[in-house]
Amino acid sequence: MTVLRLDRVSKVFGIVQRWLGRRPGAEVRAVSEVSLALDKGERLGLVGESGSGKTTTARLIVGLTRASAGRIEIGGRDVTALAPADERHIRRTVQMVFQDPLSSLNPKKSVEQIVMLPLIAQKIGSARERLDRVKELLDQVGLPQRYRHTRPDRLSGGQRQRVGIARALAINPDLLVLDEPTASLDVSVQARVLGLLGELQKKLGIAQIMVSHNLGVIRHVADRVAVMYLGRIVEEGSTAQIFGSPAHPYTQALFSAIPVIDPAERAQLPERPELKGEVTSAAYIPSGCAFHPRCPRARPDCSSVRPEPTAIAAGHTVSCHLYPLPTLPLLRRGRSEPDGVSRAEHDQTVGKK
């Protein structure tokens, strides 16, 4: 069952030039025509450098930010145009775990009050049933009951993140969106939190999207990986495909930064291209392939023609001119002829008719 589907979703922010008076400035295209699908119980890793659009995509999914274009389906229902009164559907189906648990938890509330809040907001159960549910959730995330009346500032980072996970699980969502859930934690605590998320996924079958710049984490927790650059997904596939045979030059360079301790293993790794320059501002995205100014394998057409996703293996797609689109049959006079042409030639011919 498909829990989530994004169809060419975009988000554009406008910049106001205050120093010249309140007038429109450049537009920032934070997310551009992103398409994704996630099945029940599946775990997707969303990776890329800072500014690639990962967190904005996550916020679009949970309804914290409105899409400028495209369609977002949650549980088969289009939620992009829901009225505020109907947004409860999103909250019941999708929950988010934030990067900094201390800033996302109310410092004036106890753990019990924090975890119980979604149940109250969704009007689920009686007071007694809500209390029982809170106790059950704390057991699920491995937080002792003695912390029920403790405030977040008295907890460790790992304990606070467990509270955030318990709060997200309170109303039995179908999808958890995790924005850098272990970024502020020590390595040992990271392992325990990731282990907890894995156990919950197996036990409850909750789909998960994990936004992270930590490729080592994604490699061990995700079933599939989507690589983002300047608001677009440039490569997507299974974890084994992306880490074993990265196709896009950006993915290759990104993964070359993963430290390999074993010298023998490091010697067997293929040489990866090094990136040129810095990440371009999302307010001034280059034409064609946005990665071409930094790409060591850029060709002339990369600066003028935007590459479309190309399937290079089952379930593995890449948007790069190094991988030509498969040939398509050209339709003439209502019949299909076997002569192969490129997609551009096919579209051009069809457009003339």
What is the distance between the alpha carbons of residues 349 and 353, in angstroms, rounded to a whole number?
Answer: 7
Q: What is the pLDDT of residue 99?
A: 84
Residue 7 and residue 35 in contact, taking contact as beta carbons nearer than 8 Å: yes
Helices (H), 205-269: 215-221, 239-244, 249-255, 263-268
Q: What is the pLDDT of residues 308-350, one digit of tens each?
A: 999 999 999 999 999 876 544 433 333 333 333 344 443 443 3
179 CB-side CA count, 13 A: 22
The length of the chain is 353
Q: What stretch of H or E contains 295?
A: none
For position 329, what pLDDT does the model report?
45
Strand order in the sheet with 2-16: 24-39, 2-16, 69-74, 77-78
Residue 143, CA distances (Å) to 103, 116, 164, 186 in order? 19, 15, 11, 18
CB 143 within 8 A of CB 105: no
Look at residue 333 in the predicted model and tell me its pLDDT.
Answer: 33
| Weakly modelled stretches of the chain, pLDDT under 70 | 15-26, 84-85, 89, 257-277, 279, 325-353
Q: Which residues pair with 12 in a beta bridge?
A: 29
pLDDT tens-place string over residues 44-60: 999 998 889 999 999 99
Ordered by start, the domain boundaries in the chain are 2-222, 234-322
Residue 84 DSSP code: G
Selection from 110, 149, 159, 115 nearest residue 134 by Cα: 115
pTM of the model: 0.84
Contact 4, 38 (CB under 8 A): yes
CB crowding 44-69: b at 16 or more within 10 Å, else e: bbbbbbebbbbbbbbbbbbbebebbe
Tell me which architecture the domain covering 2-222 has in CATH: 3-Layer(aba) Sandwich (3.40)
